[in-house]
């Protein structure tokens, strides 16, 4: 059984996402409340949305590639929009 390059990349990015979520979840507990807590929450939600965008390819056996590309674009746009909007709100307060 041979592992494709795409599978290796997905496993590597999954590992990175898990590290990011673990570290920022610990930071969220430590810095609850205030601007730092809000920024940590913004990062966590953004990372979660980007994670969903990256792993939409798993549904490739069931959904056409055009739909998967649309789902990826929507999740990426949602993640970056959430980060931008939240950043403006935090900076403005």
Predicted confidence (pLDDT) per residue in 80-90, tens digit: 999 999 989 88
Q: Where are the alpha helices (DSSP H) in 1-93?
A: 5-30, 34-54, 65-92
So what's the pLDDT on residue 80? Answer: 94
Number of Cα atoms under 13 Å in the Cβ half of residue 26: 5
pTM: 0.84
In tens, the pLDDT along 1-30 reads 688 888 888 889 999 999 999 999 999 888
Looking at residue 26, its pLDDT comes to: 92
């Amino acid at each position: 059984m041979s592992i494709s390059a795409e599978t290796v990349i997905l496993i590597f990015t999954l590992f990175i996402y898990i590290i990011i979520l673990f570290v920022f979840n610990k930071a969220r507990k430590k810095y609850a409340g205030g601007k730092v807590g809000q920024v940590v929450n913004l990062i966590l939600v953004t990372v979660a949305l980007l994670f969903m965008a990256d792993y939409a390819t798993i549904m490739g056996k069931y959904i056409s590639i055009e739909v998967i590309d649309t789902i990826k674009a929507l999740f990426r746009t949602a993640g970056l929009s959430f980060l931008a909007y939240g950043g403006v709100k935090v900076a403005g307060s």
